[in-house]
Amino acid sequence: MSTASIRIDPEAVVAPIDRRIFGSFVEHLGRCVYDGIYEPGHPQADENGFRKDVTALVKELGATTIRYPGGNFVSGYRWEDGVGPRESRPVRRDLAWHALETNQIGLNEFASWLQEIGSELMLAVNLGTRGILEALDLLEYANHPSGTALSDLRAAHGYPEPWDIRMWCLGNEMDGPWQTGYMTADDYGKLAARTAQAMKAAQKDLELVVCGSSGSSMPTFGEWERTVLEHAYDYVDFVSCHAYYQEFDGDLDSFLASALDMRYFIETVVTTADAVGHRRKTDKKIMLSFDEWNIWYLKEHQESDEVNETWPIAPRQLEDVYSVADAVVFGSLLMTLLEHHDRVRSASLAQLVNVIAPIMTEPGGDAWRQTTFFPFSVTSRLAQGRVLKPRVEAGTVTSKKYGEASAVDAVATDGDEGSAVFLVNRSREAVDVTIDVSGLGRAAVAEAVTLWDDDVYAKNTIDDQERVGLKPLDARLDGGTLRVRLEPVSWSAIALR
């Protein structure tokens, strides 16, 4: 059995926790909205058609913000289609996912649902096929109190109070050739800057997210961020990051080390943004909105026929079923976002229900938790106060793709009501870990859970919905020293009071 030692210094503060780091994402894609959160004919549907069992799971998940309505979908979206009387709303073709959009759910219904679950709306505007005027119209409709054409139209639609949406995305993945209306960095940077300037002229306290490159593997990566920020730096507050990971060809060790790539991604974007700021001789810092991240078996979906020319309504698309190994990597990615919380101030798990999601549903049937549900829900619930960066001494695991990775990684949080330690064991053997928490001044272990299984590919399915879940973790605190055994390929959390 291997060993590792960790020291948590209360002075090694990364940043105070911004709860928006625990955000998620709902796109009009597949069964995320229709037959996911919204299914009027379901036995558990409320008076507005939203599934109460799904609502309960979303509350348990602890998603603090929801990015909406896309995603690739937004680049062809007309927001006006989703407001007003439902019987008058048009059915449109969604070119992003080759499906029909009924527009039965739009801004008002979705924002009302978010009020029920206690989440903040993060709204995206269409800069693929539309532009400045449409963004200003949507802003007026959503946020202006009353007395203008569009704010009064919102009231006439039954919503007299403004939604007061503060965080807005200026399009989505605009460097991607798959994106309707994709652009060069120069063209997008100019449009984003003009849109941002106009939106802040209408409401100066908005927080605006400009599109970064669609991923670190894109040929545009780095240079795209530099060019876009040269245009938009003075008007925006965040630059977006998107990253998805999967296991390829049975290479579990590389998959387990995926967080190393996420670190590279974050540090590269931060360096690029700061270089632009330095050239502009400004003290302003651009923050990162990691508003799409997850495990996604993209290769398998690209090779399938689930996105085709048949134009269905709410087809089954991108419905990955996640394993224990997936959840362990997922947990390590969330730890990495916290580790860089000084600059990653917002993040969105993509997505929320059915589509590469922690929650799955069956039409007319059950809703259940995927394996990835557990690291997110526990971290969102336990993390408070400020993020601390522990010092970890452990062995390494060699991966073909990323080289040497620490067998054990950790991140901690500390607040008025308690402290928490989050750990991942990437190795194929158990590790005995000694954690010095004496500086935190905690007296007892309040909670200790772990996610692992003898079968790292065990999953929760419609036929076996509770095959995988959290297990008790034997964590012992004695005189400021915490001792714990981490099982092979595991994610764990410990709360101290």
Residues 205 and 105 both lie in one domain: yes
What are 41-70's pLDDT values in tens digits?
999 999 999 999 999 999 999 999 999 999
Residues 172 and 287 both lie in one domain: yes
Residues 375 and 397 both lie in one domain: no
Is the separation of the CB atoms in 484 and 440 below 8 Å?
no
From CA 433, how far away is CA 410, in angstroms rounded? 11
Which candidate, 339, 492, 495, places its Cα nearest to that of 430? 492
Looking at residue 305, its pLDDT comes to: 86
Looking at residue 309, its pLDDT comes to: 87
Which of 173, 207, 225, 339 is catalytic? The answer is 173
Residue spans of the chain under pLDDT 50: none
Residues 356 and 469 both lie in one domain: no
Q: Which domain holds residue 435?
A: 2-9+388-496
Residues 363 and 440 both lie in one domain: no
Residues 396 and 350 both lie in one domain: no
Peptide bond into 351 cis (omega under 30): yes
Of 382, 412, 427, which residue constitutes the final position of a domain? Answer: 382
From CA 187, how far away is CA 195, in angstroms rounded? 12
Looking at residue 1, its pLDDT comes to: 66
Looking at residue 13, its pLDDT comes to: 98
Of 335, 361, 382, which residue constitutes the final position of a domain? Answer: 382
Name the burial class of residue 59, with classes exposed (0-12), middle (13-18) and buried (19+) by CB atoms within 10 angstroms of its CB: middle
Residues 236 and 362 both lie in one domain: yes
Residues 71 and 134 both lie in one domain: yes
Residues 342 and 405 both lie in one domain: no
Total domain count, the chain: 2
Q: What size, in residues, is the chain? A: 497
Buried b (16+ CB within 10 A) or exposed e, 434-472: ebbbebbebeebebbbbbbbeebebbbeeeeeeebebee
Whole-prediction pTM value? 0.97
Q: Parallel, antiparallel, or unpaired for β 445-451 and 490-496?
A: antiparallel
Residues 314 and 411 both lie in one domain: no
Of 329, 351, 382, which residue constitutes the final position of a domain? Answer: 382
Residues 412 and 375 both lie in one domain: no
Domain containing 463 — which CATH number? Answer: 2.60.40.1180
Q: Known catalytic residue: 109?
A: no
Looking at residue 308, its pLDDT comes to: 86
Q: Known catalytic residue: 362?
A: no
Looking at residue 307, its pLDDT comes to: 87
Residues 310 and 398 both lie in one domain: no
Domain containing 225 — which CATH number? Answer: 3.20.20.80
Which of 292, 339, 447, 487 is catalytic? The answer is 292
